[in-house]
Amino acid sequence: MERRNQTGAGVFILLGFTDDPDLQSLLFGLLLAIYLVTVTGNLLIILAVISDSHLHTPMYFFLSNLSLADIGFTSTTIPKALRNIHTHSKGITFAGCISQIYFFVLFGCQDNLLLTLMAYDRFVAICHPLHYMAIMNPWLCLLMALGSWLVSVLVTLLDSLTILRLSFCTNMEIPHFFCDLSEILKLACSDTLINNIVVYSVAIVLGVFPLTGILFSYSQIFSSILRISSAEGKYKAFSTCGSHLLVVFLFYVTGLGVYLSSAATPSSRMSLMASVLYTMLTPMLNPFIYSLRNRDIKVALGRVLSKIVPLSARLT
């Protein structure tokens, strides 16, 4: 009973990246730059999609949702890491840790489901172009997006609530810059069998199944592209899904790297660096990938920026 009381009032210690004061100053600037670029880039994508009627299509609707999820994903971890570096504090309360785990898993699951919906959208567009508008109608897109958010919320809630039943011992140090679920389970003194069952079940339902759907969609897409006779037609068809394919590759490779490095070398620096790629690099690069490879996004972003710059000039 004593351990459970300690759990409720306990404070976890986020060991972070380094204790070197000089490196911490550099790290603070780097993390702040990454966060600002990520939030700004994804906000511009959302504004471009909302403001440009040419982008009111299923593909860009899902893209704006992905940008929103990416903002939430980075906002869950980086601001707390910045605060800890600035205040030279490494503590995070039990409630704060549970909240961080919840939102981190929530937005991670949402990213995964949205990438799956975007793959399905590209599958319908390329393999069934004549029926695209009938299949991907606005109501269905809205229902799929709301459904993905609802599934993410409910599944993540189950994942987080099971942590409340755990008790923890004296070692409360987390070798990470945020409350990672796998690291929290390693610190538990009580039995984590139920937690592991839930974690692996969620990983299968929201990891393996969506990835299988994405791979199936792209196998059909590539098969359809190969049947196109002209080289120009093949290039045009592939260019419509090239950005999404690159984002999918980046998301799953970095995410897989986190779990493989964690399994191979528990609590290692390699696992920490893999987490940086997964939690920071991917959300930051997504807007650049979509904007640099997509002419419609470039044009819409140009219009948004042309409105923002004169407004900021008038305000100053």
Say how many C-beta atoms besides its own lie within 10 A of residue 265's C-beta: 11
Residues above pLDDT 90, as percent of the chain:
25
The first and second tokens of residue 238, run together, are: 């592939």
CATH code at position 10: 1.20.1070.10
Number of domains in the chain: 1
Strands 91-93 vs 11-14: parallel, antiparallel or unpaired: antiparallel
For 238-263, what is the mean pLDDT? 73
- pLDDT of 259 above 70: no
Say what the pLDDT of residue 147 is: 94
Strands annotated E in 119-264: 173-174
The three-class DSSP label of residue 104 is helix
Q: How confident is the model at residue 4 (pLDDT cuts 50, 70, 90)?
A: very low
For 212-219, what is the mean pLDDT? 90
99-121, pLDDT tens digit by residue? 999 999 999 899 999 999 999 99
9-51, pLDDT tens digit by residue? 478 888 877 777 778 888 899 999 999 999 999 999 999 899 8
Contacts of 217 (CB under 8 A, 6+ apart): 119, 120, 122, 123
For residue 243, give Cα distances in angstroms to 33, 283, 287.
24, 14, 10
Q: Smallest Cα–Cα separation from 42: which of 289, 294, 303?
A: 289
For 141-166, what is the mean pLDDT? 90
Tell me the whole-structure pTM to 2 decimals.
Answer: 0.86
Say what the pLDDT of residue 91 is: 86
Identify the domain containing residue 54 by its residue range: 2-315
Q: Output the average pLDDT for the chain.
A: 82
Give the side-chain half-sphere CA count within 13 A for 189: 12
Bigger pLDDT: 229 vs 42:
42
229 residue type, one letter: S
Say what the pLDDT of residue 66 is: 93
Query: What H or E segment, with its residue span, contains residue 80?
Result: helix 58-87
Residue pointed to by tokens 């069952």: 197
d(CA 306, CA 216): 41
Bigger pLDDT: 261 vs 218:
218
133-153, pLDDT tens digit by residue? 999 999 999 999 999 999 999
The three-class DSSP label of residue 16 is coil
- pLDDT of 300 above 80: no
Q: Which residues pair with 11 in a beta bridge?
A: 93
Strands 173-174 vs 11-14: parallel, antiparallel or unpaired: parallel
For 196-209, what is the mean pLDDT? 84
The three-class DSSP label of residue 52 is coil
Question: Can you give the C-alpha Rg of the chain in angstroms?
Answer: 21
